[in-house]
Chains A and B, each alone.
Chain A
Amino acid sequence: GEDVEQSLFLSVREGDSSVINCTYTDSSSTYLYWYKQEPGAGLQLLTYIFSNMDMKQDQRLTVLLNKKDKHLSLRIADTQTGDSAIYFCAESKVGYSTLTFGKGTMLLVSP
């Protein structure tokens, strides 16, 4: 199976909170990342969390990590139309700097 899995699509209204979910399989993952890709652009690192942390908050972004279930989520508060993009979850393993990405979740924010 896939190392990193995400749901493919999420639609929310402007001002609502968005929650994008991700599951991973490798228990030796050291860092878990969220990247954002806007149309025609590269991937932008939004935030990352160490695998020994439970939560990280950065302005409108909150990352929650459930190590037992190998579940990662990204919550975007007060979602704006400019948040519409594809969001990728990724993991890196102990001793490696290469990232394994999920297939991405397309977030569509409607006015």
Chain B
Amino acid sequence: DSGVTQTPKHLITATGQRVTLRCSPRSGDLSVYWYQQSLDQGLQFLIQYYNGEERAKGNILERFSAQQFPDLHSELNLSSLELGDSALYFCASSVEPETYGYTFGSGTRLTVV
């Protein structure tokens, strides 16, 4: 157990729907990162939060949004889902915004049918 908790582990939903993925960072970590892993694109950085504030944005679609709450857990919201959004979504956390590597959760596998 890495200490980073992601729920749910698996999610199957239909095109056009909206889902929320949840991440609880490791105790003491203030930064949360979201990555998408797909076979064709590999691991792509989506967004980072530090202590509740957005810190950096990567290749995140406008249909996707995220937030980090006062208790430091984070949620990634994916809406108007398309088949191509099927992927593994990872959350990672670190102590500081600039750090020597993260701790990853075990991911949420999203399947859009």
Where the two chains meet, the residues of A that have a C-beta atom closer than 8 Å to any C-beta of B are: 31, 33, 35, 40-45, 48, 88, 95-104
Where the two chains meet, the residues of B that have a C-beta atom closer than 8 Å to any C-beta of A are: 2, 4, 31, 33, 42-43, 45, 48, 55-56, 58, 90, 92, 94, 96-107
6 other A-B residue contacts (CB within 8 Å) besides A48-B101, A98-B58? A31-B100, A42-B92, A45-B102, A97-B48, A97-B97, A99-B45
Give Cα A43–Cα B33 distance, bound, in whole angstroms. 13
Q: Contact: B58 with A43, CB < 8 Å?
A: no
Q: Contact: A42 with B105, CB < 8 Å?
A: yes
Give Cα A33–Cα B33 distance, bound, in whole angstroms. 16
How many pairs of residues, A versus B, come closer than 8 Å at their CB atoms?
Answer: 53
Listed by A's residue number, 26 A-B pairs whose Cβ atoms lie within 8 Å are: A31-B100, A31-B101, A41-B106, A42-B90, A43-B43, A43-B90, A43-B92, A43-B104, A44-B104, A45-B101, A45-B102, A45-B103, A48-B100, A48-B101, A95-B98, A96-B56, A96-B98, A97-B31, A97-B33, A97-B48, A97-B99, A98-B33, A98-B58, A99-B45, A101-B43, A103-B42
Give Cα A31–Cα B96 distance, bound, in whole angstroms. 15
B97 contacts across to A, CB distance below 8 A: 97
B56 contacts across to A, CB distance below 8 A: 96-98
